């Protein structure tokens, strides 16, 4: 039987490590298959090295982080400050969703100080919906998730209940000694999943 799948989608290298890695490790420990994807390359993350060298360094760091986590690493899709809510990035990210078929998505909060972060969240939520729509073209082309209805998947608008804990305890989602990330706070209207601090977690219910 295939294990449950979770994917962390950060805007830049180190976002996953600060906001999502603890939850990923707990899911991994509970038997989940985990995936690691930074939308941007991290090329603007230095005041000393040029963009090409910084991009290469951040790529190696991200690959090493994925290895330490025991996660499947996915290459970035664009450079820093180029994460826009547009059709090209959406097609690329939706292709990853169709390939990975995640049950749980960890990403940035829809309310954040930086547009790279908020746009990453918007792209992740839309890609989750689009993965089940056969008429939406992805880049590269991927078939819609097998076994789904003709309709878009539903994002569950609730935190995990006792019967939907994914093998974790409630306090596992926001350990006290970690950076602000995922908690089980009440949902604001229109939000799906669990939101706390700088993190956002949602479950895909096909």
Q: Distance (Å, rounded) from C-alpha 18 to C-alpha 23?
A: 11
Find out whether 94 and 127 touch, Cβ atoms under 8 Å: yes
Q: For position 21, what pLDDT does the model report?
A: 95
Q: For position 3, what pLDDT does the model report?
A: 73
Q: For position 149, what pLDDT does the model report?
A: 34
Find out whether 201 and 194 touch, Cβ atoms under 8 Å: yes
Q: For position 161, what pLDDT does the model report?
A: 42
Q: Distance (Å, rounded) from C-alpha 6 to C-alpha 201?
A: 10
Q: For position 166, what pLDDT does the model report?
A: 53
- Its pTM stands at 0.76
What is the chain's pLDDT, residue by residue, as a tens digit (206 residues)? 567 999 999 999 999 999 999 999 999 999 999 999 999 999 999 999 999 999 999 999 999 999 999 999 999 999 999 999 999 999 999 999 999 999 999 999 999 999 999 999 999 999 999 988 999 999 887 654 433 333 344 444 334 444 455 555 444 444 443 333 333 222 322 223 444 456 677 777 65
Q: Which tokens hold the place of 70?
A: 């025991």
The structural domains of the chain, with segments of one domain joined by +, span: 5-205
Q: For position 168, what pLDDT does the model report?
A: 55
Fold of 5-205: Rossmann fold (3.40.50)
């Amino acid at each position: 039987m295939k294990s449950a799948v979770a994917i962390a989608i950060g805007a830049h290298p180190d976002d996953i490590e600060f906001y999502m890695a603890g939850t990923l490790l707990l899911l991994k420990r509970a038997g989940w298959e985990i995936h690691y994807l930074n939308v941007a390359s991290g090329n603007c993350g230095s005041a000393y090295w040029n963009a090409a060298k910084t991009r290469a360094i951040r790529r190696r760091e991200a690959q090493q982080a994925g290895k330490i986590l025991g996660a499947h690493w996915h290459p970035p899709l664009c450079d820093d400050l180029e994460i826009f809510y547009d059709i090209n990035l959406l097609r690329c990210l939706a292709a990853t969703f169709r390939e990975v078929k995640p049950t749980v998505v960890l990403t940035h909060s829809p309310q954040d100080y930086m547009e790279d972060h908020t746009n990453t969240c918007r792209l992740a939520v839309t890609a989750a919906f689009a993965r089940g729509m056969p008429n939406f073209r992805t880049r590269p082309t991927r078939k819609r998730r097998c076994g789904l209805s003709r309709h878009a998947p539903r994002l569950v608008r609730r935190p995990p209940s006792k019967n939907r804990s994914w093998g974790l305890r409630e306090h596992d989602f926001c350990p006290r000694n970690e950076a602000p990330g995922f908690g089980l706070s009440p949902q604001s209207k229109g939000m799906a999943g669990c939101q706390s601090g700088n993190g956002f977690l949602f479950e895909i219910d096909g």
